[in-house]
Amino acid sequence: MPSTQTLIQAEHVSRDYRLGETLIRAVNDLSLEISSGEFLALLGSSGSGKSTLLNLMAGLDRPTSGAIHVRGQNLAALDSQGLARYRRETVGMVFQSFNLLPRMTLEENVELPLRLAEVDRAERSRRVAQALERVRLGARRQHRPSELSGGEQQRGALARALVNQPAILFADEPTGNLDSATGEQILLLLREIQDTLGMTIIMVTHERPLAERFANRIAVLSDGRLVDQLAMQTGARA
């Protein structure tokens, strides 16, 4: 069960992009609260601003106006070093296209956030093994991404996102490049991890049925605005 403690609070957040002469408002005066332990799905069509909102909350981008507080800390006020630390210590990320580095083995990919966090080597190998076991890829640790299936790659990316034991997991269309059966497996794994580790998950998707089955809450975006919020029955599984 999600706790009621607010983890993320977005207040009147806007994000503008300039495309030549045109100003595009990807996120428009959006306010949203996310509680600790919640599984929130950001739903919307292409160009609705859901990925932009995710990037802002993940500390990859800065809002043009407004504030995003995470555990009381305003991300917009952090310098680039502070944002990097936030991404390293608080956030885990999973992408639609997996983004495993092709030159590295699965094990090395998963180890990467620990290298950046300067975790010592013995601790690293223990945590990498643990993360790979959690996503059931212990046997594929020496394989390169090109030797893995799409589902395995996404599970590997999930292990990489989890290895730093983040408080929040951001998933940007995690099933977008997978067939529906594999996509479902990934989401089942996400729920399982959430249940075990109690982390907050924020997932961007445009597949409403999946969002309804796995999320606690759905926030619907359109033209950069929050147009609807739906609390889901948490029992809706598998």
Partner 1 sequence: MKGRDLGELAVRNLREAILRNSLTTLGVAVGVASLVAMLSLGVGLQTLASQRLTKSGLFDAVFVTSRRDFRGPGGEGPPRKSSAPPEKFKPLDDDARQQFAALPNVVDVYPQIRFLTDVRYEGNSFSTNVLGVPESSRATSAFDAITGKYFSSPTAEEAILQADFAKELSPQTATLVGKEITLRYAERRAVSSDEISKEPDIDKQLDEMMSGGISIVSREKKLRIAGIIESDPSAGIGGFGGGRVFLPIRVAEQLHAAQANDVQDFVRGGGSGKPTYAALTIRVKNPKNVLQIEDAIKKLGFNAFSLLDASKTLRQVFIVFDMFLGLFASLALTVASLGIVNTLLMAILERRREIGVLKALGATDGDVRSLFFAEAGAMGLFGGIFGVALGWLIGAALTWGTTIYLRQQDLPAVKISYVPWWLAASTIAFAVAVSLVAGLYPAGRAARLNPVEALRYE
* Nearest-approach distance from CB 118 to partner 1, in angstroms: 5
Structure-token pair, residue 114: 């620990």
Measured from the CB of residue 123, what is the shortest distance to partner 1 in angstroms? 13
Which CB, 33 or 62, lies closer to partner 1?
Answer: 62
Identity of the residue, 6 or 85, whose beta carbon is nearer to partner 1 in the bound complex: 85
Q: Which two tokens stand for residue 117?
A: 């966090």
Between residues 91 and 199, which has the closer beta carbon with respect to partner 1?
91
Residues in contact with partner 1 by the rule CB under 8 A: 55, 58, 60-61, 80-81, 84-85, 87-89, 91, 93, 95, 99, 101, 103-104, 112-113, 115-118, 160, 164
**Which is nearer to partner 1, 75 or 93 (by Cβ)?**
93
Nearer to partner 1, 40 or 91 (CB): 91
Residue from 164, 121, 125, 122 nearest 141 by CA: 125
Rounded distance, CA 81 to CA 57, Å?
16
Find the shortest distance in angstroms from Cβ 121 to partner 1.
9
CB of 161 to partner 1, least distance (A): 9
Supply the minimum distance, in Å, between the C-beta of residue 164 and partner 1. 8
Q: How far is the CB of 78 from partner 1 (least distance, A)?
A: 12
Of the two residues 93 and 226, which places its CB atom closer to partner 1 in the complex? 93
**Between residues 105 and 200, which has the closer beta carbon with respect to partner 1?**
105
Residue 91 token pair: 């956030």
Residue 125 neighbours by CB under 8 Å, 6+ apart: 111
Minimum distance, C-beta of residue 226 to partner 1, in the bound complex (Å) = 21
